[in-house]
Structure 1
């Protein structure tokens, strides 16, 4: 469904090869211990609250339960955004990434398939055990958003109606499936014999990497891919070819009013993961300016987002919101180029990045 194009990463700066090979294992260990493990655990903790929030809003439907559901859903999206660029190991095993969120979805596949589930009252959608084997489009955060929120970003889950019992049962199965997957991802990274071992034993040679440099390049390319996705999949489609062609509904999670939360999470995730590698001491003095420049641009990107008024479905055509998002797209491209070309060149990292070519 998604086609990945492998593009050679052009190195924008030439550095002198060291006379000895650098062991990057400590840098990778920093990333795992100070970023990946805490962030995947945080995602598991927030996702674990979803089933109770769904049960409460379906049972009560009062203002308090609605607010709790909105908060838990938003926090789960935020924490998912913090890790979704880690496209290796536990996140992609068993197709978890697509099952957690079917993105991008320009053809509205999720909506069409959910309508069929609701129309047929498919019993397999009422249990996390059977739901996990169905189409990836009907079992993740994107599916839950369509069930739980209306077009005006208000919670409709739990409202009285002929399909309330089925819809609530389906939403509960989704939430339990999400919680299970988030827990599996966290456990996968906590496992000392899991993918962390693959990254940290490269110097001895393993089936995936021959050296720790190859392992670091794989991580580095995942960070760059995260920026490509944020710009090309999450921002540009909403901007369209001009202001008169803008489509705010193309922002990720626009229906629930969580586009700013998700986009900010993407930015902070890549920024903090890069910082956790602590690469400054391996960077030639002439290029250490890059770290401050990158942080400055990340802060600008998040700052732009924080000035937008959610939900973007209602506010995107007002004031200077469009112009701000256009600047955000430029900032994301600058960040991508600075990290993929200048910083990679300064660190003598080569390799490739996966650029997504839609569905």
Structure 2
């Protein structure tokens, strides 16, 4: 064997040994997964279920005793529920991804206004199927969740719920939709109970595990949840109404929850939820050895984005009409991009994922 091949062989063996040593000293992902389950997933879905139950109670009270005060209570309960869901909605894992639960809770984007049209037709025709939770659960996903509820409570004709005039069917529809969300949240919580096949797989990466075979695959999945969520906030939620090229093409009525003035409030909750996932899981442990201050930097970037979104507390139409707040929306877009880059490049590499690692397919 010539001298060049011998040197090459030693280099390869040395690199392999160094990589093996690095992997052996890398902290295990198991505690991160357990922290995520106990500190983020279970409490988050429990809070969503509690908020759904509050809305169910508020709509039942409104339907039984129509008044301006009870309508306000139902609307406030809706806003609280939208906030709680926004903190969990980017966790695209487990029972929420089965039986169309994700879309049944929130159908968005709805570029053709399918949900609004279906809800309006049901109200106009007095369709009794929408007033029974069991039959409603079998109808279009666009009629079952938060989008339908927002229109029922805040859309055209919603004010009549305070008087009871011609609104009994509409109110019963809202009550059934709220109960449907209680049921869906209960199904999701049941799927994350101890002893379920999901929890068993989630807590223990292994060769036969359908979720992830190794700690690195588990890290890829967790980071992917965060990165894809941030991308969706920027590319779907903000871009739904903000045209980056031409202000004349802005679409304020295409924004999620524009009727209830919850558009930017739910973006704040989205970001706070994703930061909570990062913090409560203790995910930063995988980067400590290579980049001990990186987690604090990521938290700082989250804080910048959250403060910017929180400062935009006004109806979307007003935000877009004001050049100063419209410019802030562009900064928010940029601030979210910075977090994505930190996670996708610096944090992934510090955690031992190769540059270019795909968060979409686990390669």
Q: Same fold (TM over 0.5)?
A: yes
Cα distance in structure 2, aligned partners of 1:197 and 1:221:
21
Distance 1:333 1:157 in 2: 43
Where does residue 179 of structure 1 map in the other structure? 182
User: Could you tell me which residue of structure 1 aligns to residue 82 of structure 2?
Assistant: 77
1:291-315 CA distance string (max 9 Å, x none): 1221112111111122123332344
What is the alpha-carbon root mean square deviation over aligned residues? 2.2
Q: TM-score, normalised by structure 2?
A: 0.86
Q: Which residue of 2 aligns with 1:213?
A: 216
Deviations 1:258-280 (A, max 9, x none): 11221111001111101223233
Instruction: Give, in angstroms, the shift of residue 109 of structure 1.
Output: 1.1
2:66 touches 2:164 (CA, 8 Å); kept in 1?
no
Q: CA deviation at 1:181?
A: 0.6
Is the CA contact 1:157–1:168 (under 8 Å) kept in the aligned structure 2? no
**Partner residue of 1:34 out of 39, 42, 48:** 39
CA gap of 1:94–1:243, structure 2 versus 1, over 3 A, is: same
CA–CA distance in 2 between the matches of 1:264 and 1:17? Answer: 40
Residues 147 and 157 in structure 1, CA contact (< 8 A), matched pair in contact too: no
Task: Give the secondary-structure state (helix, strand or coil) at the position aligned to 1:202.
Answer: coil
Name the counterpart of 2:246.
Answer: 242
Structure 1 residues 304-335: Cα deviation after superposition (integer angstroms, max 9, x where no partner): 12212333234431352111111001111111
d(CA) in 2 for partners of 1:50 and 1:354? 36
Please state if 1:136 is matched with 2:138: no
Q: 2:234 aligns with which of 224, 231, 236?
A: 231
CA distance in 2, matches of 1:89, 1:219: 13
Instruction: Output the CA distance in 1 between the equivalents of 2:288 and 2:318.
Output: 47
1:17 to 19, 39, 45: 19
**C-alpha offsets along residues 71-92 of structure 1, whole Å, 9 cap, x if unaligned?**
2111111110111011010211
Distance in 1 of aligned mates of 2:80 and 2:160:
18
Unaligned 5+ runs, structure 2? 1-17
Distance 1:304 1:157, change over 3 A: farther
Whether 1:45 aligns to 2:50 is yes
Question: Could you tell me which of 188, 196, 202 is aligned with 1:193?
Answer: 196
Counterpart of 1:170 in structure 2 is 173
Q: Matched residues in 2 for 1:246 and 1:328: separation?
A: 16
CA distance in structure 2 between the partners assigned to 1:157 and 1:221 by the alignment? 44
Structure ID, larger Rg: 2
Richer in helix (by share): 2
Q: Is the 8 A contact 1:257 1:313 kept in 2?
A: no
Give 1:278-289 correspondences, 5 Å limit: 278-283=282-287, 285-289=289-293
2:101 equivalent to 1:96 = yes
Unaligned runs of 5+ in 1: 1-15
Deviation at 1:201, TM superposition (A): 2.2
Higher relative contact order (CA 8 A, sep 6+): 1
Q: Secondary structure at the match of 1:348?
A: coil
Q: Residues 62 and 160 from structure 1, CA distance in 2 versus in 1: closer, same or farther, beyond 3 angstroms?
A: closer
Decide which of 325, 332, 336 is 1:321's aligned counterpart: 325
2:332 aligned with 1:331 = no
Deviation of the 1:31 alpha carbon: 0.8
For 1:64 and 1:115, locate their aligned partners in 2 and report how far apart those are by CA, in whole Å: 25
Output one character per residue of 1:239-269: Cα deviation in whole Å (capped at 9) or x when no partner. 1133232222232211111112211110011
Residue 8 of structure 1: aligned partner: none
How has the CA–CA distance of structure 1 residues 135 and 157 changed in structure 2, closer, same or farther, with 3 Å as cutoff? farther
Structure 1 runs of 4+ aligned residues shifted over 6 Å read none
Q: Does structure 1 residue 352 correspond to structure 2 residue 352?
A: no
The count of corresponding residues between Structure 1 and Structure 2 is: 338
Q: CA deviation at 1:155?
A: 5.2
CA distance in 2, matches of 1:39, 1:284: 26
| Residue matched to 1:269 | 273
Residue 219 and residue 282 in structure 1: after superposition, are their counterparts in 2 closer, same or farther (change >3 A)?
closer
TM-score, scaled relative to structure 1: 0.87
